[in-house]
């Protein structure tokens, strides 16, 4: 067992965690009552807020009345103290449960750089974060009714548009960061919105919203001088489509032709035959991968990303200019990239992976001058090539899901899989700077025994620790933690990392050590025994380990089903420490006593997302598809199991019991549901999302030690705080 000195950010956290109030969070600045949580970004001297050049303000007609209430109005964000919470959540007051706060910055859904290159906008599920692109200082948080999935600046820098998942659009004055109007396409709220893109015309006179559904493309246009709607129409989606806002044209591909549709005049369109090789590629790949089309600004050529091939086509030519087709036709499914400990007796696996193939080419982006193109590959590489002939300039071992270039194409911002936003030179790909404020996935939550702090594990290499009273970030610890848990006395924080490491932070000493050797797969969950002397860990390597913290040694390593091993996602320890429960993602639940596992048989279990054991050990809840409530008398393994109907798609993703064992809380993709344990009556259903949002599924659910609040972490990096409000 090797001990290490904890990094400096961890020391800041550890001092705060034991109650020394003299310390302050690292460089957190406040703006309009909101805090910058970009403390992981390299420290710099603050720069002045950009001063935008004066622009002529158009004469507006009366501003339209907003069509929806901002979802987050009235909710506390970080650094906003919560009101005193004295009422413990119970059967009698469950109907008064309300969402009080939303903390965290949220994952980045989209990034965009302003035309002057001064502001970087990051769209999340609570709105848009506006950063100084040079210093990464947080300038403003623009809250929106729904998750921001598309961002557009007008060419003159006057307007900022935030397109949202449900089809709504917020228009801001860019210089003043002031909401001008809220636009609503006619079919807002439709459940089958696949993509939503917003753009300004080249001269800024028109604004366009393009919403793609499963069947068609809906186009709405507004006059930016009055913000009055001027046109709305839909068209078949075809095999693929694209918008060229520079020349105000939409391109729609069918099997043999490209139809160019004017966005200014619905009646104007023309068709261009597809080159033979392009037709062949479309027929071969469109049914497998989603096609991406990138037009040159003048419309002279297009790049077509079929998922495994890139086609360069001068539109008026009968043949394509060139193909980049030396990429793999498909990538192996990472679902099977697991250790040998998960193989069954036949050398296979006990689960079936998704049939959805992974495209080798993630995305293609053209520089603003149309000279170069950046290609991001799903095998973990990015290439920078000349657009005219495909010649490679450089490549780096990084994968991006979104790109925005500087106006002069000198550098770009790239969004990585872990949420890090990198600034790199287009000359040679050299890293210039990073922004680490928007982790791509929240994995787990843990509350300290005294209820003062909340530890949050995510995939970006940092464990963030929040003050539970106001959402301040107290500090960070190192590690991409899939699971986190405080010891019963609060002196230790255990973290199960995505690389299989089991890391123990000694909070008072400011040190940590790793239990070795760790797991061969991600540590999906962990739990302390009641006396705090042992830690039980579950893993994607299909095993459960029991660790003695006195000497740091593994006491046992268990595979519940040696003939058909399964990935283990959850572990819960009973209050008497005589047994514990584990669950596999494919629906297997086991009760383990000592090192002897016994399977619990439940009918119709398709997937287990979470396990929760009541504080007295009398009830076990399984959240999943479907969800179950089980009782466990001492004499027999399973006395009774009851399937719980959560409605909608029938899925619950997280579960927890209140301290009095009387309530079961289940989190579905949109609602927090409160059930009575005694008669399984639904007492309350509280929405925390009003529509489906990107990556917004529940990740974990915790009850504060005093029983006054519920803490829900969602995969999009947000933390939702619920409590009982006044009866008045």
pLDDT in tens, 167-194: 899 999 999 999 999 998 865 445 577 8
163 and 256 in a common domain: yes
Which secondary structure element, helix H or strand E, spans residue 240, and what is its range? Answer: strand 240-244
526 and 427 in a common domain: no
387 and 282 in a common domain: yes
Q: With b meaning 16 or more CB within 10 Å and e meaning fewer, what string describes 258-283?
A: bbbbebeeeeeeeeeebbeebbebbe
Eight-class DSSP state of 387 = T
470 and 606 in a common domain: yes
The Cα–Cα gap between 161 and 171 comes to 5
Asked whether the beta carbons of 710 and 447 are under 8 A apart, the reply is no
Strand segments, DSSP code E, in 459-588 are 462-467, 473-478, 481-486, 492-497, 502-506, 511-515, 523-528, 534-539, 544-548, 553-558, 568-573, 579-584
Q: What is the pTM of this model?
A: 0.87
pLDDT at 330: 81
More confident of the two residues 325 and 635? 325
pLDDT at 528: 96
165 and 190 in a common domain: yes
132: helix, coil or strand? Answer: strand
409 and 312 in a common domain: yes
- Taking 70 as the threshold, does the pLDDT of residue 68 lie above it? no
- From 419, 421, 397, 401, select the one nearest 411 (Cα to Cα): 421
561 and 420 in a common domain: no
CA-based Rg of the chain, rounded to a whole angstrom? Answer: 27
Domain that holds residue 298: 107-435
The Cα–Cα gap between 152 and 148 comes to 11
Does residue 187 form part of some domain? yes
What CATH number should be reported for the domain holding residue 556?
A: 2.130.10.10
462 and 427 in a common domain: no
pLDDT in tens, 223-277: 999 999 988 888 887 888 888 988 888 898 888 889 998 877 778 889 999 888 7
458 and 409 in a common domain: no
175 and 144 in a common domain: yes
More confident of the two residues 289 and 484? 484
The Cα–Cα gap between 533 and 489 comes to 11
Among the candidates 606, 639, 663, a domain finishes at 663
460 and 431 in a common domain: no
Among the candidates 382, 410, 435, a domain finishes at 435
Tally of domains within the chain: 2
Which secondary structure element, helix H or strand E, spans residue 279, and what is its range? Answer: helix 276-285
Does residue 39 form part of some domain? no
The Cα–Cα gap between 627 and 668 comes to 11
pLDDT in tens, 429-482: 999 999 999 999 999 999 999 999 999 999 999 999 999 988 999 999 999 999
pLDDT at 286: 67
Among the candidates 663, 686, 701, a domain finishes at 663
More confident of the two residues 575 and 372? 372
409 and 465 in a common domain: no
């Amino acid at each position: 067992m090797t001990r290490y000195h904890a990094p400096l950010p961890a020391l800041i956290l550890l001092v705060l965690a034991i109650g020394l109030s003299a310390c302050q969070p690292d460089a957190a600045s406040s703006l309009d009552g909101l805090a910058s949580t970009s403390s992981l970004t390299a420290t710099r001297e603050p720069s002045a807020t950009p001063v935008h050049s004066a622009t002529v303000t158009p004469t507006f007609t009366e501003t339209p009345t907003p069509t929806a209430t901002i979802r987050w109005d009235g909710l506390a964000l970080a650094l906003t103290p919560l009101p005193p919470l004295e009422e413990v959540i119970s059967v009698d007051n469950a109907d008064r449960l309300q969402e009080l706060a939303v903390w965290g910055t949220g994952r980045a859904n989209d990034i965009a750089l302003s035309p002057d290159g001064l502001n970087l906008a990051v769209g999340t599920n609570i709105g848009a974060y506006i950063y100084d692109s040079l210093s990464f200082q947080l300038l403003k948080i623009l809250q929106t009714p729904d998750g921001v999935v598309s961002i557009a600046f007008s060419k003159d820098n006057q307007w900022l548009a935030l397109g949202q998942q449900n089809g709504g659009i917020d228009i801001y004055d860019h210089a003043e960061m002031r909401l001008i109007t809220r636009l609503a396409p006619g079919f807002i709220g439709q459940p089958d919105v696949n993509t939503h893109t917003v753009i300004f015309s080249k001269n800024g006179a028109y604004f366009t919203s393009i919403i793609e559904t499963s069947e068609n493309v809906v186009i709405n246009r507004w006059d930016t001088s009055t913000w009055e709607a001027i046109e709305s129409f839909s068209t078949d989606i075809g095999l693929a489509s694209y918008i060229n806002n520079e020349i105000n044209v939409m391109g729609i591909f069918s099997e043999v032709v490209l139809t160019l549709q004017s966005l200014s005049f619905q009646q104007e369109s023309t068709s261009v035959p597809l080159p033979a090789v392009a037709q062949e590629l479309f027929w071969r790949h469109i049914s497998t991968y989603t096609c991406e089309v990138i037009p040159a600004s003048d419309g002279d050529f297009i790049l077509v990303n079929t998922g495994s091939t890139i086609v360069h086509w001068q539109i008026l030519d009968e043949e394509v200019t060139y193909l980049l087709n030396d990429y793999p036709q498909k990538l192996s499914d990472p679902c099977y990239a697991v250790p040998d400990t998960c193989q069954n007796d036949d050398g296979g696996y006990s689960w079936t992976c998704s049939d959805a193939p992974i495209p080798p080419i993630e995305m293609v982006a053209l520089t603003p001058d149309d000279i170069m193109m950046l290609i991001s590959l799903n095998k973990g590489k990015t290439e920078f090539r000349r657009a005219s002939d495909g010649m490679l300039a450089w490549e780096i071992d990084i994968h991006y899901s979104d790109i925005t270039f500087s106006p002069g194409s000198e550098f770009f911002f790239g969004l990585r899989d872990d949420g890090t936003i990198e600034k790199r030179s287009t000359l040679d790909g050299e890293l210039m700077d990073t922004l680490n404020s928007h982790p791509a996935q929240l994995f787990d939550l843990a509350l300290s025994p005294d209820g003062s702090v909340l530890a949050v594990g995510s995939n970006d290499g940092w464990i963030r620790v929040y003050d539970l009273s106001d959402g301040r970030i107290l500090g960070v610890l190192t590690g991409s933690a899939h699971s986190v848990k405080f010891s019963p006395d609060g002196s230790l924080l255990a973290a199960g990392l995505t690389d299989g490491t089991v890391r123990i932070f000694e909070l008072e000493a400011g040190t940590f050590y790793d239990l070795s050797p760790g797991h061969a797969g991600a540590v999906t969950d962990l739990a302390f025994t009641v006396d705090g002397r042992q830690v039980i860990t579950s893993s994607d390597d299909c095993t459960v380990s029991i660790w003695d913290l006195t000497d740091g040694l593994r006491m046992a390593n268990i595979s519940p089903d040696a003939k058909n091993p399964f990935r283990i996602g959850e572990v819960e320890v009973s209050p008497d420490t005589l047994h514990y429960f584990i669950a596999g993602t494919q629906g297997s639940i086991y009760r383990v006593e000592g090192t002897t596992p016994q399977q619990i048989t439940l009918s119709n279990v398709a997937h287990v997302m979470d396990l929760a054991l009541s504080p007295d050990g009398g009830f076990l809840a399984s959240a999943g598809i479907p969800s179950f409530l089980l009782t466990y008398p001492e004499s027999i393994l399973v006395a009774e199991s009851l399937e719980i109907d959560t409605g909608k798609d029938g899925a619950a993703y997280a579960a927890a019991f209140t301290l009095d064992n009387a309530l079961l809380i289940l989190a579905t993709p949109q609602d927090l549901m409160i059930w009575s344990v005694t008669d399984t009556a639904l007492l309350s259903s509280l929405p925390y999302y009003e529509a489906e949002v990107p990556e917004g599924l529940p990740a974990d659910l915790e009850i504060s030690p005093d029983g006054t609040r519920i803490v829900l972490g969602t995969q999009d990096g947000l933390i939702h705080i619920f409590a009982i409000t006044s009866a008045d």
